[in-house]
Every structure is written in C-alpha cells, then in structure tokens.
A and B are shown apart, each in its own frame.
Chain A
Amino acid sequence: MRVVVDLELCQGHGVCVGEAPTVFRVRERPGDYAQVEILLESPGESLRAQAEAAVRYCPNRALSLIEDDAPGR
C-alpha cells in the first residue's frame, strides 16, 4: 500500500495529520500554500486504518491509496 498526494489540490488543512500523525505532516511554505508532506510513503498494514481515514476525510480529496498489487504500476 502506497500513499499518493495530488499537491495541486492540497490546501494544507492537516486533517490527514489528525488522522495519521506518523504518516503525514504539514509543511509551511513562505509565500505559498502550506502543503502536506508524506512521511511514510508505504505505511504498512498496522497504519492502514489511519491512512484510510486520512484519505476518506481529506476535505480536498487530495490523497489516495494505491495497493501494491494494483495494475498499471
């Protein structure tokens, strides 16, 4: 499982940080929008529930999860 972010959609709200604090953090960028940074690109099964909640509750739908066996990689 891999976490992917579409940074053009991200406003840096940090909902994902609330859901999965070890997977995401919000990076301030002077002069530009704050943005999410993925700390753990492949969070592993123990963090699956948190990562799924982050994807689901991202208000901008900027996040997605790609399964390891997903086609087209």
Chain B
Amino acid sequence: MASASRERPWPKVSGAKPEGGHYAEFIEHPARFLLRAWRECGELAEFDLGGAPHLLMSGPAASEAVFRAPDDQLSPSPPYHFMVPVFGEGIQFGAPLEIERQQVKMQSSALRLDRMRSYAQVIAREVEDWVARWGDEGEKDFYDELKELVLRTSTHCLMGSEFRAKLTDEFGALYHDLEQAVSPASIVDPYAQTEIFARRDRSRARLAEIIGAVVRERQREGGSHPDMLQAFMEAEYLDGHKLSEHEIVGMVIWIMFAGFHTSSNTATWTLVELARHPECVREIASEVDSVYAPGGELGFASLRELPRLERFLFETLRLHPPLVTLMRRVLRDFAYADVVVPEGDTIVVSPYVAHRIPEIYPDPERFDPTRRFPANVFAYIPFGGGRRKCVGNAFAILQVKSIVTALLSRYEFEPVDPPDSYRDVMPSLILRTSSPCRLRYRRRKEADGSRPTRSEASRPALSEAKPSGDRTSLPSEGRQPERERIASAKARQDRA
C-alpha cells in the first residue's frame, strides 16, 4: 500500500505482535482494547489489524471532523464490505454510493413519524402479551428474554402481523445463520469456501423465498399494511423505479442487523442498571405511571414524554453503547488539526471510548442518570453522528422505552448475582451484557391498589388474535387518552 511509507506522527499502541499486530487482542474484546489504546495514547492512537493501520480518534473535536467529512473522503463502505454477501449484492455497500443513499432514505421513510405511531402500538401489544404470564414474581435470564421479545417486535413491525404469527421462529433461525457468518473470519474473506458461509448463503436464499412470497401475495391482493415491508414495496428511487424483490429482501435483513441486537442489548442493560440502582426507580416508575397503566394503551406521544426514563436510558447508552467501533476508510488524505491521515488508512471512532473521557464525563465509569450531558452533539454518539448517523435512532429509543415502561408499571427488579458481576462482553461485534443475565422480578405492591389499572384480561393475547387481524391499526378515537387524541389529530393535519 502506497500509504505505508507515509509519516504518521501520532503514538502507536503498545503490544503489537509481529504476526497480526493487535488483531488477537482487538478481537478478544474490542471495547476493552480501544479503551486501553486511548488511555495509553490519547486523542490519536494507532493500532495494527493484520498489517492494516487503524487510527482511533477520540473526543468531540475528532468525532466532529470524522462525522462531517464527505463520503468520498472517509467511506464506511470498504470497512463494512463483509456485509455485502449478507445483505446482498446491490444493497447498501454492495451498491454504488448514489443508490445506497437512496436506500438509506427508504429505510428512514419506513421509520417515519406517522408509521412510528403504529409501530408504538405493535411494540406495546407484543410487550403486553410477553409479560401476561409472568405471575407475581420470578427469575429470568433477561439477555435471552429480551432477545426473544425484540425478535417478535421486529418481525411484527417489519413484516406485519400475519408473518409474525406464522413465521417468526423460522425467520429467527435463518437470521441466526446470517449472524453467525458475520465474524472476524468474514472480515478477512467473506467469500471463503467454508461451511458457515455456505449456510449463510442457503439461509439468505430461504429468507428471500419466504419474504418474496409475502411480497408477491401482497402485490396480488393489494391492500395497505402498516409495516416496513410495505414501505419498502412502495418506495421509489428518484428515477421512479421500485426496489426489486431481491433488494426488498436485502432491506429487511439490513434493518434487522441495524436494529435487532442493538435494541435488545440496550433494553437488557437498561433493566440491569435499574436493578442495580433501586434509588432511581421510584421517580421513573411514577413518571411511567403518569402515562400508562398495565393493560392500557401506550402511545407514541406518551412515550416521547418520559424525560426521566429517557435520561436513564441515555446514561445506559453512554456506558454501554451497543456499537463500539464506527469505521471509515480514508479515500483521500484527511487533515485533522495539525496532522494528515493518509489515504488507505482506516479511522475508528468509538462511542465506548468517547463516552468515557473524564474531561467531558467526570468520574466516567460511575453510572449517574442525573449527570449533565454536554451540549456538544459530537460528545455523545451512541448512534454515531453526521449524515451517516443511525437512521433508526428514534425508533430504537421508542422501542426500549416501550419495553421498560410496560415492565416498570408492573414489576420491581433486583440482581440475582452480585451487582458487579454484570459486565460488558463482546462475543460478537455488538456489545452486550454478560450471560446469564439473571434478574429477579416481583410485582409492585402499590400496583394493586393506589393506581388505576385496567383489567389485563380485557385484551386478547396476541396468539389468540386472528392472523389477519388489524392489531397494528391505531386504536379507535373513543379509547384514546386525551394527549394521544391530540397527537393523532395533529398527525392527520400534518399529512393533509
């Protein structure tokens, strides 16, 4: 690589091995490695992954420079090329930049405000159904539990109620095969002849079959469906042509990779932190009670108005951001402060590191939901930043709030294991809690008397609903609380 001879006037992280550089240590636990790199070297820290120079850039000024750089200078496409056989050729980084941008826009349209209102209903109902049989107390592994729940909410919001009722298990298993194939080995060569990649390709083909069947059925029968699949089916490129069936399948897989484990892991960490910080729970629970009672309607507008829960969630995302490395390849020399990062190098911005800088977050390892967050938008980056910021960030926050609201309105939580034993681990590229992640839950005492509760029996469980039911539609006007009614009236006005 021509850039190898260029001067790199910044500190190098210690401990590089002659073979592979820092690769083994990085793969073991990327978050831990990057934090060590920053502690040792500061704002600019160079490390070596199998001979390729990587530069970790930390802090608001560095993050801002990276996030403001144009795509043709700092590109996420080469570092994430191993996703192409998963999403499919012609999708995201397997497509030319101008096509990829339009696809990102289609993803964000599928998560638009008016659609989000119906997703809020879907998520709330899935959560209701999920907790309905928990009883008064018990103990669960919340890593597994929330993974299962978010698989259900995701398939439901993505593919609709019928698909959710019939195909969630198969979808989950096929998706798991794709996930298994996203590994360090795939970063080296995602097309190698191995069983795991062969299974990935078979599972993607089967996913294409089952999703394609739904697409064709909808094309035959018409009708409107308030889910993301329908949004992808209706989406048009700027020249007026629609996504092909192959592209629709790719969009579905892409949005799952972006939103599934990131959301379920965040929900798990939020519950663990609530269990570890009972002193914060009373305030948040009373806020939750003001917008929601078990069995009631939980709408989009109410969920937006939960500042205490939101701060707690933001502090959780500060310490446990599910994505630890955001990577960009330098396509043209990149000047920052008084240095130039040469073409061919890879730049890494790490939310995990950025959120632990003591000048910005005093006593950074301490979980403190009353902490003042910096006004600088580049100091807090759980969803990245700039024009490549996660398009699903509002949806993710909505989903986690919805889950936590339903749980806190019913139960109190406490750790089963010693509080310090719950740790950040990274068996894949997404940060999660150590497992088993056991919490004990107990029905809140005041939940029986002092708060207005609606009968949980008044709502049919999801599994009993007829598959073609309209469970994703908005509730009728008469049942909506006042704030929701105002919000939906406003939504109609906005659409007009």
Q: Which A residues lie at the B interface, using CB under 8 A?
A: 8-15, 17-19, 21, 28, 30-34, 57, 59-61
Contact = CB atoms under 8 A, between A and B. Distances in A.
B391 A11 contact: yes
26 contacts: A8-B68, A8-B387, A9-B377, A9-B386, A9-B387, A9-B389, A11-B104, A11-B105, A11-B108, A11-B387, A11-B389, A13-B111, A14-B108, A15-B113, A17-B494, A18-B491, A31-B98, A32-B98, A33-B105, A34-B105, A57-B304, A57-B394, A59-B393, A59-B394, A60-B385, A60-B389
B32 interface: no
Contact of B114 (A8, A11, A18): A18
Nearest to A61: B377
Q: Which 8 A-B pairs have the closest CB atoms?
A: A18-B113, A61-B377, A59-B394, A31-B98, A8-B68, A13-B108, A59-B393, A30-B238
Q: Is chain A's interface secondary structure helix, strand, loop, or mixed overall?
A: loop
B105 A12 contact: yes
Contacts of B494: 17-19, 21
A46 B329 CA distance: 47
Contacts of A61: 377
Given A8-B68, A61-B377, A32 B393 contact: no
Nearest to B393: A59
Given A14-B112, A30-B238, A59-B394, A8 B386 contact: yes
Most buried by A among B108, B113, B377, B387: B387
B101 interface: yes
A15 B105 contact: no
B317 to A, nearest CB: 14
B469 to A, nearest CB: 28
A54 B281 CA distance: 30
A21 to B, nearest CB: 5
A4 B67 CA distance: 19
Contacts of B67: 9
Contact of A33 (B101, B111, B112, B491): B101
A46 B378 CA distance: 32
Interface residues on B, range: 20 to 34
Contacts of A8: 68, 386-387
A14 B357 CA distance: 33
B395 to A, nearest CB: 9
A59 B386 CA distance: 11
A60 B42 CA distance: 27
Contact of A13 (B238, B385, B391, B491): B391
B387 A10 contact: yes
Nearest to B377: A61
A51 to B, nearest CB: 14
A9 B108 contact: no
A30 B238 CA distance: 7
A31 B238 CA distance: 9
Contacts of A34: 105
Contacts of B377: 9, 61
A9 B378 CA distance: 11
B66 to A, nearest CB: 12
Interface string B388-412: 0101011000000000000000000
A68 B439 CA distance: 52
From B108, B304, B385, name the one whose CB has the most chain A CB atoms within 10 angstroms.
B108
Contacts of B104: 11, 33
A9 B385 contact: yes
Contacts of A17: 494
Contacts of A31: 98, 101
Nearest to B385: A9
A19 B386 CA distance: 21
A57 B494 CA distance: 15
Nearest to A58: B394
A10 B67 CA distance: 12
Select the residue from A11, A14, A28 with max chain B CB neighbours within 10 A: A11
B400 to A, nearest CB: 15
Contacts of B105: 11-12, 33-34
Contacts of B389: 9, 11, 59-60
A13 B389 CA distance: 11
A56 to B, nearest CB: 9
Contacts of B111: 13
Contacts of A9: 67, 377, 385-387, 389
- Most chain B CB neighbours (cut-off 10 Å) among A10, A28, A33: A33
A28 B386 contact: no
B95 to A, nearest CB: 13
Nearest to B113: A18
Interface string B370-390: 000000010000000111010
Nearest to A60: B389
B25 to A, nearest CB: 34
Contacts of A28: 238
Interface in B413-472: none
B98 A15 contact: no
Contacts of B101: 31-33
A10 B377 CA distance: 13
Interface in B455-496: 491, 494
A2 B128 CA distance: 43
